[in-house]
Amino acid sequence: MKLRYKRLGLILGAVALVAVAIGLVLNAFQSNIVFFYTPTQIVNGEVPKETSFRIGGMVLEGSLKRQDDGLTVQFAVTDTVNVVPVTYTGILPDLFKEGKGVVAQGALDSQGRFVASNVLAKHDENYMPPEAAEALKRAKVTQSPAVQPDGSNS
């Protein structure tokens, strides 16, 4: 075999190896990426079905209800325009309070309720995820009536 064909074979092999490595890295990123959505995007149906994602906004005042088991809680997350009911089983962060910012990770169930696997509360009074802050600003500009957790308008 000529030296030219050996070199070409090595180059093609290296390109194939790099392509496989890039494919594996992109696949790992795709399976670990968790997207952020606002309650308005969820109500509008912009979220993927049966896929884990994050919801962010404010915990609706008066929406926190604890079950008798001591671990299951229900609350609602709002961006001041729409409200999404959330169910979480576990220990809530110490800073979790009604009227404060929250980010929850989970998926929608068949009834459209967000079932959270993880709940994160803001760590100080100045912090809010940038996406949630932007959603709240947009919601205040539109001044639409909020939708209650039961689906009715206020």
User: What are the structural domain ranges in the chain?
Assistant: 1-33, 36-142
Whether the Cβ atoms of residue 87 and residue 113 lie closer than 8 Å to each other: yes
**Average pLDDT over the chain, rounded to whole?**
80
Domain 36-142: CATH class, spelled out: mainly beta
Task: Supply 13's token pair.
Answer: 């092999």
Tell me which of 53-67, 80-94, 123-137 is least confident.
123-137
**pLDDT at residue number 154:** 47
Q: What is the mean pLDDT of residues 96-109?
A: 86
Share of residues in the chain with pLDDT > 90 (%): 16
How does pLDDT run across 18-58, given as a tens digit for each residue? 999 999 988 887 666 667 888 888 888 888 777 888 888 88
Q: What is the mean pLDDT of residues 56-77?
A: 88
Position 147 pLDDT exceeds 80: no
Tell me which of 7-21, 26-40, 69-83 is least confident.
26-40
Q: Give the phi and the psi of residue 26 in degrees, each rounded to 5.
A: -65, -40
Alpha helices in the chain (DSSP H): 3-32, 39-43, 130-142
Distance CA(39)–CA(58), nearest Å, equals 10
Whether the Cβ atoms of residue 39 and residue 82 lie closer than 8 Å to each other: yes
Distance CA(108)–CA(47), nearest Å, equals 9
